[in-house]
A and B are shown apart, each in its own frame.
Chain A
Amino acid sequence: MSSVTKTTTYRFVDWSTYVAVFAIALVLLAGMISPIFQRQIFNERLEVSPGEVVEFKTWELKPQLIGAMRIDVDASFTNNRWTTYELRVLDEQGNLIVSALKQAWVESGTWREGGESGTWREKDVEAELDLQAGDEPETITLAINILDYTDTSGQPVEGESVRFHVRVFNGAIDTRYLIPGVIGTGGLALFCVLSTQNSGQDTIRKFMKDSDIGGRAIMGGDNNLICCRLKIVADETSPRVLNVNLWLTDGYGENIYDDLKRVYLTFHRDEDGDIKRTTGNFKQYFTLKRRGSYGFYIEVTPDAPVDETVLTVREKVQTVTGVSVVEIARD
């Protein structure tokens, strides 16, 4: 006897896509919780003259698992000046152990283009330096030094000073790595979905310029999901809905399954707004417990508007989500 069961199954879901989505979530989560680790330990404004070294914070830097110490400096000074300022790290004896430079500038001017004019102001004044301890904790002193302070022609300027807004954080994380992380995992998740949608092997692939189509092949078995797809192309006289009648026959030609489904058509219009053709898609999943020769036959009604049908039956298919399946078991 044969049994026909209609059910929803998750047995053939390819979990790879969900693993990739989990990877995306990991990266996003890492980015979102990164501020938790940050602690501000210094926040003040300093005024420094060219050639003067100003020490502003002494701190014991300990080796730590997560994050680094970040020195964040925002300089402000007179318009149309260029400056090179230096962030210095000194050890307990006063020796220089790190020096980092920032070439900062503030410029403004006017522009004139096609009868319109306006002013512009551009600047690049922020500097950031991340530090972490080596193997041993170390007491360090942070300082700022101005190496150069000139006008826009390169001539040194006397008598002006630069104001710095300095903040120091501990536990700062370099979130720039997370951007390629999100892009990479997102792209891989997309490829996973595409790979799953193209899974399986063709057993029947037939093309007919008619509304009746069919084919026979050997397929089936345990743990083998079969996907039967029909693509319909109809002309502009077609109704909104077509009926697809599907029969399944076994190796002896006996009918083992029979179903009628409605397919809603998509109307494609050309540039003038006239309907040039309509398309519809029918899809049904099966599991055929015993491997053998099976025939798939389809009639589309009404048949007059139907121009082409393409029947594709694939086996060993995997799905992205749970699907409704017809399980046919035949002794």
Chain B
Amino acid sequence: MLSKILATIALILALVTVGAAYSSRTAVTLRQDQQQQRYWPRQGTYLNGSYRSGTWNYSGNRASYGGGFFGGGTGFGK
């Protein structure tokens, strides 16, 4: 009995992950609000703004993640 439940869960898991991967739910959907919950940044590329009633609300020219950009490497926090 237990093994049947586990196998069913495995099958559902497989279908859910394949479906999520192929449907590109992590992509930015144009003109759609509620973006932040589904977007999964690739290669550290973050959204600069969000949709409000279908128009893009630009966050501005300054990248302000935690008080300014300090770069990477050993110069971090200088």
Contact = CB atoms under 8 A, between A and B. Distances in A.
A20 B3 CA distance: 9
Given A68-B24, A102-B45, A105-B73, A195 B2 contact: yes
Contact of B22 (A17, A30, A122, A189): A30
Contact of A101 (B15, B46, B56, B74): B46
A313 B43 CA distance: 57
A41 interface: no
A178 B18 contact: yes
A299 interface: no
A49 to B, nearest CB: 16
A124 interface: yes
Interface residues of A, number: 73
Given A101-B45, A147-B61, A148-B63, A181 B27 contact: no
Contacts of A98: 28, 30, 47, 49, 56
Contacts of B16: 181
Interface string A83-116: 0101101000001111111110101010000000
A188 B9 contact: yes
B45 to A, nearest CB: 4
Interface in B23-78: 23-32, 40, 42-49, 55-56, 58-59, 61-63, 65, 68-75, 78
Contacts of B9: 188
Contact of A19 (B7, B42, B46, B78): B7
